[in-house]
Amino acid sequence: MLSSIDAAMKRSKAYAHLRNCNLCPRLCGVNRYETTGHCLVGDKAKVNVIAPHFGEEPCIQGHNGSGAVFFSGCNLRCVFCQNHDIAHQRNGQDLTPEELGEWYLKLQDVGGVHNINLVTPEHVVPQVALSILHARDLGLRLPIVYNTSSFDSLESLELMDGLVDIYLPDFKVWEKATSKRLLKADDYASTARGSIKAMHAQVGDLCFTPDGIAKKGVLVRHLVMPGKQEEGRRIMQFLAEEVSRDCFVNIMEQYHPDAHVGKPRRRLGGKAAGSDVSAETLRYGDINRAVSDQEVTSRPSAAEAVGLWRFCDPPKHDGFNI
């Protein structure tokens, strides 16, 4: 637990960052009390959904669900975003840090969830830090899950140190050219590497309660994408060699074309191509398909080859895989 002095220092830093926002790698530097930067979110966090959630890993959702807080907005622009309606349409309600913290208490006391799961918080780190501190003052006892794309700055992770129990980072792609084209952030991979190492330095490998619920540590997600086997292999190698061979990994196979993928290219004048367009005129045609069985099976094999062994496989029993 943080001392009262450490908590006060975190509050002071959070307010300062809102006045000169450089906490994510976009380094916008705006005063979020007056305007917005790349994420288009001001001093209040915009929240799309707050509810018990049963769509996470078994060790995160457990028996009673994970207390999910889905933030609107994002500091990435993934062309294949699987949550495009939440991340980029800015739907939801503006909440102060105090209001947000009080929702955590409702999830704990009324929802009976296992944890507070902050989904896509990278662009609202000051507000999140303040909300956690407020909720703890009110009696929050649940673990905090920081559910992130890994496009986090080391400064933001330093602010979250001591506030987060479980880090749930994605590691999407490895190559700079891929991240520039598909995520609109050419420094994504280098940022993710530094972020995941910093997360692991804070909380270590994932550990569990006796009934298999995650209580502290890092769980890395990797979404298998069409044609990205070599990038996936490099990611697995990085986790094994530079993070930990005991790193807990969820290799996900639910990719499907979404958001801008497979949409007709726009012609001069702003008009989209008609319904008779060929595959060559569709946007991001190389990832406009489901992943193959071979692509799905190659990723765990690559992970095992470099020494990783803790995977989030679908449970073959009524309990939880740990």
Give residue 322's pLDDT. Answer: 38
- Lowest-confidence region among 139-143, 196-200, 296-300, 315-319: 315-319
Pair (109, 147) in one structural domain: yes
Give residue 67's pLDDT. Answer: 98
d(CA 91, CA 139): 30
Q: Please report whether residue 317 resides in a domain.
A: no
Q: How confident is the model at residue 118 (pLDDT cuts 50, 70, 90)?
A: very high
- CATH number of the domain within which 299 lies: 3.20.20.70
Q: Please report whether residue 316 resides in a domain.
A: no
Tokens 């940022």 sit on residue: 191
d(CA 264, CA 215): 45
Which positions make up the binding site for [4Fe-4S] cluster? 74, 78, 81
- The SS3 assignment for 3 reads coil
Pair (271, 307) in one structural domain: no
Pair (241, 304) in one structural domain: yes
Q: Please report whether residue 151 resides in a domain.
A: yes
Tokens 């989209």 sit on residue: 272
The residues near 270 (Cβ < 8 Å, ≥ 6 apart) are none
3-9 mean pLDDT: 97
Pair (272, 212) in one structural domain: no
Pair (124, 229) in one structural domain: yes
Alpha helices by DSSP H, the chain: 4-19, 58-61, 84-87, 97-106, 125-138, 154-160, 176-182, 188-203, 229-238, 293-305
Give residue 316's pLDDT. Answer: 46
User: What are 122-156's pLDDT values in tens digits?
Assistant: 999 999 999 999 999 999 999 999 999 999 999 99
Pair (233, 267) in one structural domain: no
What average pLDDT does the structure give for the chain?
A: 92
Pair (97, 207) in one structural domain: yes
Helices 97-106 and 125-138: angle between axes, nearest 10 degrees = 50
Pair (210, 270) in one structural domain: no
Helices 125-138 and 4-19: angle between axes, nearest 10 degrees = 150
Q: Please report whether residue 116 resides in a domain.
A: yes
Pair (274, 150) in one structural domain: no
User: What are 50-61's pLDDT values in tens digits?
Assistant: 999 999 999 999
Pair (221, 282) in one structural domain: no
Q: Please report whether residue 247 resides in a domain.
A: yes
Tell me which residue range forms the domain holding 160. 4-255+290-311
Determine how β-strand 310-311 pairs with β-strand 93-95: unpaired
User: What are 151-176's pLDDT values in tens digits?
Assistant: 999 999 999 999 999 999 999 999 99
Pair (225, 274) in one structural domain: no
Please name which of 76, 260, 317, 41 lies closest in space to residue 186, comparing C-alpha atoms.
Answer: 76
For 228, the token pair is: 């990205």
Pair (145, 274) in one structural domain: no
Which positions make up the binding site? 74, 78, 81
User: What domain count does the chain have?
Assistant: 2
Give residue 85's pLDDT. Answer: 77
Is this structure's pTM higher than 0.75?
yes
Q: Please report whether residue 161 resides in a domain.
A: yes
Q: Please report whether residue 107 resides in a domain.
A: yes
Give residue 207's pLDDT. Answer: 98
Q: Please report whether residue 318 resides in a domain.
A: no
67 - beta bridge partners? 52, 116
